[in-house]
Amino acid sequence: MKTSKPPTLAQAVATLALLPLLASAAPLKVHGIFSSNMVLQRDKPIVVWGWADSGEAVSVSLGSEKAKATATGEKGRWEVSFPAREASSEPQKLTVTSGGETVEMENIVIGDVWVMNGQSNMAWSLAKTLQFDLESSQADLPLLRQIKISPNEQETLQTDIPVSVMPNGGWVTSTPETAGQISAIGYAFGSRLQRSLQIPIGLIDNARGGASIESLVPHHKFDDHPLAKRYAESVKQRRAEFDWDEQVAKMVAKWEKEVADKRKKGVAEDKLPKKPTRADVRSWNIPGKSPSDAASCYNGMFGAFKGLNIKGVVFHQGYNNAMSSACRPERYRVLMKLMVEGWREDFNDPALPVSIIGFCAGAIPQNEENFELWTVSGGAYIRESQRLGLADVGDAEMTAFLPAYDVQIPGLHPFKKQEHGIRAARWAMNRVYGMEVAWDTASLVSAEAKGDEMVLTFDKPVMPDDMSTIPRGFAIAGEDGKFYLGHARFRLKKDAGIWNTANKSFDTTIVHVWSPLVEKPVAVRYAWATSPLGNLKVGGKSWAPLASFRTDEWDWPESDDPTESLYGRSDGKAAAEDAAERHQFRREKEAEMAVEVLKRLDALGQEAEE
């Protein structure tokens, strides 16, 4: 039997001298976005990176291909790149080796990777929706995968994503058991793409509940516009003035009261809450880190994995920017453009496909009985800013605004999500993938006052999806800016009596809008409320609602000074009182003029074309 000699004194001293170096050696690590079950982006170079002991050689293999790198710099960062590959559902193994350490990841496939970004209505899981039972029963889709990134807002751009903010530890495949965890919009979108394209589809769900758009814009983009720059400077100022001790003192005072109350109730000492420290200060209370502040969510949840190639982004957000004093539509429009441009820059794709799902409808639905009561809406302005900000990017081919106001159910988190994901899938299949799947949009071409009517012309037919003949959802105003329910009719082509349908009897590119309360109209709005009335669809397709719009320039009150709000609680109360007065006035007047109104509606839209 072979035995080993005990080490000499010199050898023991040498070993002891090496211990500090061995203890400080950086362990091999791959960036947190990589894990087993991952989907890597097809048709673009595959970049893999991580960290090891600086100076160490790193070997990486993906399937049969190999690449080498050396960890460099103080943090020992390494990176390798593999040539672009076509889509493949064949499972690959990703292996990284360095300094005697090995990291292995299995079941890696090649396909398209889509980022699902925004706030809580994008993060909302399939299990919490009305369609969960049916969708999950069909969720055995081994080529559909998702990685979820939980809240991880940060003051500065991060280089990694800790496993602690990934609820599932990494990528998971879709099964009836796991599908409930997937973003509901993401699942509806990704499952349709996967079945249609028959390639692996990966979803990165990095939506953050409560996030304002300010937190989702890459930080370097705030310098690109004076309005954005001034806002970012105000955040820096708030951060400089932030007093940690004051914040902790408030928490301690609250803690002391709570502990005293619990002791009176006989709660054991080992069951009492621990004294709070800096680590317990909520991110919401830290300027620069709050999910309301510049780039914070992007820093820790999106930009943290830049370098990974992706196919595109689907975005859904709006609530936090639509709330009273936080509502700044002009700034929102600027930031929408900067956000998309920033994504394209950071992910090295100037034509990165982006679809923006409009601010959802979660308030009491507007109807003809409560119409004026809901005409005061910051949310309607935010929808407009989403649409216009995206249009400002100047890429109609690879970007799309997808109206969502018609999918209505009261609440901050409407349980209807499937429609949004399917609409996004239609857009992607049509525009991004060039498939023969219908998707379309329409725009207002002109709005002209003719006597006491406003005559609207659209570039494409717009009509209710049930082919009914009455357009609904219009508001009309005179020079006083007071909007009332507008009665609307299509331009009649051929009268078939009770057999009239929108698509056959009318020119649905022309809509006449009128109100007996507005003698000289100057402006029209359509679907202009938080959960607006509006039944027009492009071509009469249920999945293509006409985007809300206005023809006026009466903007939401907004200051260029980010520290000043021009719309507070008292302003909201006054606006609501005015809306109630308009509502009651319209109902009473139309009741008085009932016969006259009916006669005018019989004739509205039947004038001969000039």
CA angle at 381 for the pair 377 and 384, rounded to the nearest 5°:
140
Q: What is the pLDDT of residue 191?
A: 98
Residue 155: HSE in the Cβ half-sphere, 13 Å Cα cutoff: 11
The DSSP code sequence of 123-135 is H-BGGGSTTHHHH
For tokens 């890429």, name the residue: 395
Q: What is the pLDDT of residue 235?
A: 97
Is the pTM higher than 0.85? The answer reads: yes
Q: How confident is the model at residue 415 (pLDDT cuts 50, 70, 90)?
A: confident
Percent of the chain at pLDDT > 90 equals: 90
**CA 489 to mean position of chain CA atoms:** 35
Q: How far apart are CA 351 and CA 15, in angstroms?
A: 56
Position 36 pLDDT exceeds 80: yes
Q: Region 196-214: what's the mean pLDDT?
A: 97
Q: Region 498-509: what's the mean pLDDT?
A: 92
Q: How far apart are CA 406 and CA 357, in angstroms?
A: 12
The DSSP code sequence of 273-288 is PPPP-GGGS-GGGSTT
For residue 206, give the DSSP letter: -
For tokens 């460099």, name the residue: 72
Residue 369: HSE in the Cβ half-sphere, 13 Å Cα cutoff: 2
Position 72 pLDDT exceeds 90: yes
Q: Region 557-578: what's the mean pLDDT?
A: 94
SS3 assignment, position 465: coil
Q: pLDDT (tens digit, 9 = 90+) per residue, 178-193?
A: 999 999 999 999 999 9
Q: What is the pLDDT of residue 268?
A: 94
Q: What is the pLDDT of residue 15?
A: 47
Strand partners, 520: none
Q: What is the pLDDT of residue 23?
A: 45
CB count in 10 Å sphere of residue 388: 16
Q: What is the pLDDT of residue 607?
A: 64
For tokens 């502990």, name the residue: 259
Q: How far apart are CA 227 and CA 335, in angstroms?
A: 9
Q: pLDDT (tens digit, 9 = 90+) per residue, 97-126?
A: 999 999 999 999 999 999 999 999 999 999
Token pair of 79 as six digits = 């990176």
Q: How confident is the model at residue 24 (pLDDT cuts 50, 70, 90)?
A: low
Q: pLDDT (tens digit, 9 = 90+) per residue, 521-537?
A: 999 999 999 999 999 99
Q: What is the pLDDT of residue 409?
A: 85
Query: Is the Cβ–Cβ distance between 541 and 436 less than 8 Å?
Result: no
Q: Region 424-452: what's the mean pLDDT?
A: 97
Highest mean pLDDT among 17-31, 225-239, 490-504: 225-239
Q: pLDDT (tens digit, 9 = 90+) per residue, 583-592?
A: 999 999 999 9
Q: How confident is the model at residue 43 (pLDDT cuts 50, 70, 90)?
A: very high
Query: Is the Cβ–Cβ distance between 321 and 558 less than 8 Å?
Result: no
Q: What is the pLDDT of residue 469?
A: 94
Q: Which residues contact 61 (CB under 8 A, 6 or more apart)?
A: 67, 93, 94, 95
Q: pLDDT (tens digit, 9 = 90+) per residue, 396-405?
A: 999 999 999 9
Q: Region 463-470: what's the mean pLDDT?
A: 95
Token pair of 160 as six digits = 């990694």
CB count in 10 Å sphere of residue 561: 11
Region of poorest pLDDT, from 254-258, 410-414, 552-556 = 410-414
Q: What is the pLDDT of residue 458?
A: 98
The DSSP code sequence of 99-126 is TTEEEEEEEEEEEEEEEEEESHHHH-BG
The answer to whether the Cα torsion of 146, 152, 154, 156 is positive or negative is negative
